[in-house]
Structure 1
């Protein structure tokens, strides 16, 4: 094999020295433009979740903070299927749960959980919760993910477990307890319930959810193989490598960027129907 002459830090350059620009979160001339962007990516996230089978009746919700009315956030209407979500369907609610814009009620549990998170974490602009199969299955153990794969390192020391199941979350105190279990992390496993992820953008929060569900799937498969005998022993990634690699794969900008191929795919697949 010929030597690899280009340094990893230079992989964004051509042979002529021209720099190639990686996609980043856009800059907006007005807050109205940013509001529209957030709503468009929120609607897309629902479509993408539907593609992955995260829908279940009227359960599941994604929110994004409004950039103008910063104590308000946008949510999905109660009875709209994820696969049919459009920008015009989204509901704006205030910090007390009153609908400010929109034509349908919202999920009570959605407001209870999301309002607590947006209040407790001003750095968080979006939160995702859905009843994905692998997330639900892993949640029954009431434990954190093990650092057994590179993808799991996205959640290294940045996820918690809420070890209490009190049914549908309609009590403000329980919403606050979930927020406390989340802490300063990007995700929390709700025991006997499922996953919840957050981010500085809806893109980031949605990708963390998708990645965490797949990581739960990998964990379940690894646990089953290890329990089945045959000499299968899980090898955990050592702490030094966890520290180093988590910084490479777990930052907000990495989460945002990782979502863009899915957004592009949905845009092409639907012809932009969700933008209406």
Structure 2
């Protein structure tokens, strides 16, 4: 697949706005980063980005492709009913559509929605207590994580309202028995939330495996940890949440395989 997707002699790059193309490149890079970090799961799970404009169209990975095959031009643009918008060659996973459209249709601030099925994330999603405040990463989101009970594979459109209600105004969601979800005002923001939530889950499982009593800081420390974490993520106002970290990984993806830009 060469990624150009020419339609009537014109490439997709020539058919979309500069703003949409930049978003496509960034989202394709995000898929490559997810693959690089070991968060992908065959052809399943999704990260989506809403295309600027009043229509609430969003970009999603083509069903059937590995994450390392995703490019700017083969991302699929769909509406809130799951219908493809514009030229396309690929199908969309119905379960991914249900989960992501649930959030994109009600959260104007959620430009990006990231969902993973990592082992650590699913293991913590299987624990009744959820994410415990036992690591620096978890303390940064103390009281900031929402939960949604498992209703089976996400194929029921009726679940969208319940899922959106579970998330509320939070940016981090544990889908019980299922996995992790984050959203943000940018792809980099959703990414850094997922990175830190994933790390919190990994550390929690390792700490629990030791068998000893876990240390839980005081309520005051937990509150200040949340405030300090968001100040840290703002990087003194010189970049948006996660921008420096995400851009550093995009540079790595460019060195490894820049085909995501096609």
Using the size of structure 2 for normalisation, the TM-score is 0.85
Give 3-state SS (helix, strand or coil) of 2:102's partner. helix
CA contact (8 A) 1:142 1:192 kept: no
- Equivalent of 1:115 in 96, 101, 105: 101
- 2:129, 2:180 → 1: CA distance? 12
Give the structure 2 partner of residue 149 of structure 1. Answer: 135
CA contact (8 A) 2:124 2:130 kept: no
Distance 1:153 1:264, change over 3 A: farther
CA contact (8 A) 1:113 1:176 kept: no
Give 3-state SS (helix, strand or coil) of 2:174's partner. strand
Give the structure 2 partner of residue 73 of structure 1. Answer: 58
Gaps of 5+ in 1: 1-30
Distance 1:256 1:180, change over 3 A: farther
1:19-76, CA deviations, whole angstroms, 9 ceiling, x for partnerless residues?
xxxxxxxxxxxx9333222211110111111112222233110100001354110000
Give the structure 1 partner of residue 227 of structure 2. Answer: 247
- Equivalent of 2:70 in 69, 73, 85: 85
Instruction: State the Cα RMSD in Å.
Output: 1.8
- 1:151, 1:266 → 2: CA distance? 25
| More deviation, 250-259/45-54 | 250-259
| Residues 1:52 and 2:37 aligned together | yes
- Equivalent of 2:145 in 133, 152, 159: 159
Gaps of 5+ in 2: 1-15, 235-239
Give 3-state SS (helix, strand or coil) of 1:43's partner. helix
- Equivalent of 1:196 in 181, 187, 212: 181
Give the structure 2 partner of residue 133 of structure 1. Answer: 119
- Equivalent of 2:202 in 217, 220, 227: 217
CA contact (8 A) 1:158 1:184 kept: no
| Residues 1:262 and 2:249 aligned together | yes
Give 3-state SS (helix, strand or coil) of 1:185's partner. coil
Distance 1:97 1:187, change over 3 A: same
Q: What is the CA-CA distance between 1:169 and the residue it aligns to? A: 0.2
- 2:22, 2:129 → 1: CA distance? 36
Asked which structure has the greater CA Rg, the reply is: 1
Q: What is the CA-CA distance between 1:249 and the residue it aligns to? A: 2.2
| More deviation, 260-269/248-257 | 248-257
CA contact (8 A) 1:155 1:186 kept: no
Q: How many residues align?
A: 239
Give 3-state SS (helix, strand or coil) of 1:95's partner. coil
Q: What is the CA-CA distance between 1:83 and the residue it aligns to? A: 1.1
Give the structure 2 partner of residue 106 of structure 1. Answer: 92
- 1:207, 1:116 → 2: CA distance? 21
Give 3-state SS (helix, strand or coil) of 2:140's partner. helix
1:115-140, CA deviations, whole angstroms, 9 ceiling, x for partnerless residues?
11011211111101121111111111
